[in-house]
Structure 1
Amino acid sequence: MADRTEAAALNLKGKGDLAELMVAADLRRRGFKIAIPFGEDCDFDLVLIRDDRLERVQVKYAESDGIVIRVRCQSHSLTNGKVRRTKRYTAKTIDLLAVYDRTSLRCYYIPASELGAGRAILHLRLKPALNKQHIGTRPAERYLSLA
């Protein structure tokens, strides 16, 4: 379990930077090569080199409640602290949505094909639903490996 005081000390940029580092380290541990795009204007944070293919990876920071990980599938462009534009991720802009969960200290990898035409939020379940519902749920363990 992550130290809440330490997590609270991180600002949004710091949380994003931490997530990118943790995902990059996880991918390297798995034996993949990665590249980091130059500048802030890309729709993705990392490039995964897998089987001689380049895959665009958008990285997200999350803090689960131990039951569900809420994954934001969009980003906001800000001007003077105000949201100027909201961009939802799709398979046209990324190949993989990688999530670093600060609570479990694990990385999860969601294929962009699961994002459809763009969605605001996606939920990964760390524990089964209390009502025993399985249809339409996404068990988090399914996303621990790269498909």
Structure 2
Amino acid sequence: MSKKYYIYLFKDSLDNVIYVGMTTTFERRVFQHKDKEWFVNVSKVFKSEPLENETVAKIYEIYYINKFKASENQKDNYSIECPCPFQKELTFDTYNCDFVTVVKNIVLKMVSPNENKISIKKPNIKLDLNYDNITKEFKSMKNKGD
């Protein structure tokens, strides 16, 4: 079975695309963004249809960074004009944000705003925020709600 690649978009509450990424492991990659200052501003997450080829996925990633002028992407992937329009735009579906909400809530409980910077509220408390533990917590929360 071949690897599937996905392009994902993070939007803020004003519906601006703030980040575009590419991944083969969607939830794990979303989780890896939890430490970014801008992550708490994510209100919607979109995931593309699967792509069969890494090179095509990378080209689409750069294309969408440029198309949406995603503010939080690396500036070296960003140019004033899109490099080229695609004959076929990708289809994006809204991703069920429960997982993202769980991660955001954990991050928000750990931090407090301090002059537009994030600072740890309780530095003496060690939180085990690895992907597997968050996923287990998320699944247990979902099972309680079913």
Q: Which has the larger radius of gyration?
A: 2
TM range (shorter): under 0.3
Greater relative contact order (Cα < 8 A, sep 6+): 2
The alignment's TM-score, normalised by the length of structure 2, stands at 0.25
- Give the number of the structure whose residues are more often strand, by fraction: 1
